[in-house]
Structure 1
């Protein structure tokens, strides 16, 4: 089993916790309270290696961060050393995408240009648009264009109706697994060239301890 650290970012009430709860527990709580600080969850998915046809288990260690302003300063403690990040916005809130853009920019700035963190931009609450198209405040094209320009994955989903949730994590898992294979191959090549010695690290530290994840 391969483990990866994944963090969810975004402002309050965009549905981060609902997305994670749907993915991990296949549940939706319309009265779910706001996250305080951060919540930790884990879930394992199965992938198929396209080259060997072997089934691979990928475990996500997930940090669901609070979106309220008073907790924003804590976010770097959770996204540091992350293998992947999901940045969520509300497609029915006209200001929500611009806030998500700030999260993406902060993440990229703090992690650095040479970081290989996989980032997915997610527009949530698609169910509200399916009920009434006039509720859409952010077009799909706006989200897609920003994602393309910044090398992000992009999806519009509904945590409530379980639309597209599995696709987010499946896509991220496949991308991380491919990165893992590339690093493993590079490591093997380095070992061969160095006569059997190598210090290449395949994965970042992975833990459910919020204090040690930042060391």
Structure 2
């Protein structure tokens, strides 16, 4: 009887839509590549529109399935973003710590999600490329304060090294 109960519980799959938003070349696709395959490509082709990928993680009592939407960072695709973040359980708003303009762009994504996104979406503000510390243009404390003021989680990561991915 307990075996049947365990099998029934293991068959329970929870799906979560996760969307990555941010300017071009901040490392969204590289972060997805690191998460899915634990790999890093030095040159990543720019994403056109969006890429859809999935990853399932087996936990002791269930399966978590991530439906990952890796969006294009080029401005010409920005108008498509609402259809990608609609219904998302979580959003990673990414910027490059060595590119102040990408940080300013990321802040506009947070504002857009606050106005047009789901009220219960979990938003993480992610400073990527911490392997470029010597070229840093966005202080950690500044970004962390902005994230806290906007009720976002805050992380810094490196898709290249895999740190915090």
Alpha-carbon shift at residue 96 of structure 1 (Å): 1.7
CA–CA distance in structure 1, aligned partners of residues 58 and 137 of structure 2 = 35
Correspondence 1:82 to 2:88: yes
Distance 1:111 1:128 in 2: 32
Question: 1:24-63 maps to which residues of 2 (within 5 A)?
Answer: 24-46=36-58, 55-63=61-69
Specify which of 4, 12, 17 is matched with residue 5 of structure 1: 17
Q: How does the TM-score come out when normalised to structure 2?
A: 0.89
Match status 1:123 vs 2:135:
no
Q: Which has the larger radius of gyration?
A: 1
- Give me the whole-angstrom Cα distance separating, in 2, the residues matched to 1:62 and 1:13: 18
CA RMSD of aligned residues (A): 1.2
TM-aligned CA deviation for residue 55 of structure 1: 3.6
Q: Compute the displacement of 1:57 (Å).
A: 2.3
1:111 to 107, 117, 120: 117
Q: Tell me the residue number matched to 2:7.
A: none
Q: Distance in 1 between matches of 2:105 and 2:138?
A: 12
User: What is the aligned partner in structure 1 of residue 101 from structure 2?
Assistant: 95
Aligned length: 153
Structure 1 runs, 4 residues or longer, greater than 6 Å off: none
What is the CA-CA distance between 1:34 and the residue it aligns to?
0.4
Task: Give the 3-state SS of the residue equivalent to 1:100 in structure 2.
Answer: helix
Give unpaired runs (5+ residues) of structure 1: 48-53, 166-215
Matched residues in 2 for 1:71 and 1:25: separation? 26
- Quote the Cα distance in structure 2 between the aligned partners of 1:75 and 1:26: 26
User: Following the alignment from structure 1 to structure 2, what is the Cα–Cα distance between the partners of residues 80 and 89?
Assistant: 21
Alignment partner, residue 149 of structure 1: 149
Distance (Å, rounded) in 2 between the aligned partners of 1:55 and 1:142? 39
Q: Deviations over 1:80-107 (max 9, x none)?
A: 1111100000000122211100011101
Supply the distance in 2 between the matched residues of 1:68 and 1:109 (Cα, whole angstroms). Answer: 21
Q: Offset at 1:56?
A: 3.5
Structure having the higher strand fraction is 2
